[in-house]
Amino acid sequence: MAYNEYLADRVRHSLKENKAAFEEKKMFGGLCWFVDEKLCVGIFKEELLVRIAPENQNIYLTNEDCRLMDASMKGFLYVSAEAIDMDDDLDKWVKRGLEFNPRAKASKKKK
């Protein structure tokens, strides 16, 4: 299992509840959701990947159960399965990704 299907259903539900128009793509052995053609959230195994404002990452790393995706990629956090066990907690993280999305830079398209 590359990613948790039940978690995928929960993320879809949260995005819909937040009235986000999204596109779903399988990537890197996981599943990602793009809003306005920009990566917003994803799941890999049991963890949630969230793209947040880089200036907030140290606050979240200090106070939340999460870790950096990669030291060279600011603003991408993996959130533990335990931290998103409750729907309200998952929704909180999805909202953080959606809040940053309008400011996020889209990756360059391949020709």
The number of folded domains in the chain is 1
The whole-number pLDDT of residue 61 equals 95
* 109 falls within a domain: no
* 108 falls within a domain: no
The whole-number pLDDT of residue 110 equals 64
CATH number at residue 64: 3.90.1150.30
The whole-number pLDDT of residue 1 equals 56
Q: Which domain holds residue 77?
A: 5-103
The whole-number pLDDT of residue 18 equals 97
* 56 falls within a domain: yes
* 18 falls within a domain: yes
Low-confidence ranges of the chain (pLDDT < 50): none
The whole-number pLDDT of residue 84 equals 97
Please state the three-class secondary structure of the chain as a single string.
CCECHHHHHHHHHHHHHCCCCEEEEEECCEEEEEECCEEEEEEEECEEEEECCHHHHHHHHHHCCEEEEECCEEEEEEECCHHHCCHHHHHHHHHHHHHHHHHCCCCCCCC
The predicted model scores a pTM of: 0.92
* 52 falls within a domain: yes
